Chain A
């Protein structure tokens, strides 16, 4: 065993080197995914398959999540605003639509799709790695980065905004249902308040966030699957890591984007 001059620095030093190695690998992987997504041949069938899987089959889970979130926000905002204001109707409508479009829609969709699709990408690509299917692609004159990774990243980046747009509508509808049928608000007044304070930028910001989150979750899912360890344990760890790191990075990115557009 080697003698290190400062032994207590050995473990943090090794951890830092591993971290830097992983970051470098991730950066190169991300760069290659973007590079190959823009170069022919384009595997449109693969892209379409992912679009269906991400955009279509994620609709129920995103819809249900945003529906109940919209309902909860309506109740909670009513509890909050009724303590200092009598104008609950307009406050609740505004809070619901702003929180859903700017924040909860994209974040919840990102987290739910990370759990559903990010994990599935990591498991599928990890299994392909373990069963030599990725090596087989290589020997069959097909670049794995172009055939496997680029379509997934492209599809997730394009589909998340669509999912969030649908989720926004469902979330606002959830708030409306609670406001009208449980809190007894006037429907037309509630809708008028909803539209009065909603700006196009609120929706656009949510869609930009969604695209970024889609990119993050697909890159993390593919990256952890692509570099999955051997055996069932390796694939299991890759799947877990894909979901955990996606969730963390989505929340970090959410804060950064919100901070960039924040105006006092």
Chain B
């Protein structure tokens, strides 16, 4: 079955001063696929994600979402495109001044004429989908654990049923058990929504649980892309070192020269 491309990145470049982070990067993400972008620290994974969201302006290149060019697009076009996205930030990025339920329905309530009871019902349902009980609804983010914050952030990301989900280091800072729970919730949300997903992670366990495909970033470009199951049989020495976590290899030499 041929899948249509939902996100098409072509010739994307971004430099900060003299440091080139993304260098003529190409990447196609088919509709409904869950892809993990991996790479050593500082290879521009988060920058790539922020460019896709328009939070960082790329120096050159093209990013189209469902055929709509987003680089250099008007604010209105960007806002229309952003409605298709749900994003789980690395630290959750919950709003400290709002209660949990208000965080969850922050975007959901916009443009809808819903009363308080309806909003709370929607929040309760979204929280139940990530295995959180209603008792957390009236707490503030600082009053719950890091793992629960991640689950609330996931509920916020999916409550609108977005077409595209982005996950930035979803399991960073969590214990293995909580990481496993988050991975399962992410995979289940992606499957339930039939969403296209991009995950940035160093956590190979997480990547195997969440992703269909993997793209390896190195030197500002995608140097390997393929199904997650093919990572272990690769003859690419860079990917091989990264996947298996070898201390010696081309990535180590590259980091020493940089």
Check A136 against B93 for contact (C-beta < 8 Å). yes
Kindly report which residue of chain B lies nearest to residue A135, judged by CB atoms: B55
* Alpha-carbon distance between A39 and B93 when the two chains are bound, in angstroms: 26
Interface assignment of A85: CB less than 8 Å from any CB of chain B: no
Residues of A within 8 A of B (CB): 49, 127-128, 131-133, 135-142
Inside 8 A of A139's CB, which chain B residues have their CB?
53, 55, 82, 85, 87
Query: Nearest-CB distance from A124 to chain B (Å)?
Result: 8
Total interface residues in chain B, CB < 8 Å: 21
Check B95 against A141 for contact (C-beta < 8 Å). no
Inside 8 A of B110's CB, which chain A residues have their CB?
141-142
Known interface pairs A133-B96, A135-B50, A136-B95; A141-B79 also in contact (CB < 8 Å): yes
Residues of B within 8 A of A (CB): 50, 53-55, 79, 82-83, 85, 87, 89-91, 93-97, 106-107, 110, 156
Inside 8 A of B93's CB, which chain A residues have their CB?
131-133, 135-136
Interface centre among B53, B55, B90, B93 (most CB of A within 10 A): B93
Number of residue pairs spanning A and B whose beta carbons lie under 8 angstroms apart: 45
Query: Nearest-CB distance from B50 to chain A (Å)?
Result: 7
Inside 8 A of A132's CB, which chain B residues have their CB?
89-91, 93
Inside 8 A of B50's CB, which chain A residues have their CB?
135
Inside 8 A of A133's CB, which chain B residues have their CB?
93-96
* Alpha-carbon distance between A137 and B82 when the two chains are bound, in angstroms: 11
* Alpha-carbon distance between A139 and B95 when the two chains are bound, in angstroms: 13
Inside 8 A of B85's CB, which chain A residues have their CB?
139
User: Would you mind naming 15 contact pairs between A and B with Cβ atoms under 8 Å apart?
Assistant: A49-B97, A132-B91, A133-B96, A135-B53, A135-B89, A136-B89, A136-B93, A136-B95, A138-B54, A138-B55, A139-B82, A140-B106, A141-B82, A141-B107, A141-B110
Kindly report which residue of chain B lies nearest to residue A137, judged by CB atoms: B95
Query: Nearest-CB distance from B76 to chain A (Å)?
Result: 11
Check A142 against B91 for contact (C-beta < 8 Å). no
Inside 8 A of B106's CB, which chain A residues have their CB?
140, 142
Inside 8 A of A137's CB, which chain B residues have their CB?
95
Instruction: Identify A141's interface contact among B83, B96, B156, CB under 8 A.
Output: B83
Inside 8 A of A128's CB, which chain B residues have their CB?
95-96
* Alpha-carbon distance between A140 and B79 when the two chains are bound, in angstroms: 9
Closest 8 CB pairs of A and B: A136-B93, A132-B93, A140-B107, A132-B89, A139-B87, A133-B93, A135-B55, A140-B106
Interface centre among A127, A139, A142 (most CB of B within 10 A): A139
* Alpha-carbon distance between A138 and B106 when the two chains are bound, in angstroms: 12
Query: Nearest-CB distance from B77 to chain A (Å)?
Result: 13
* Alpha-carbon distance between A213 and B238 when the two chains are bound, in angstroms: 58
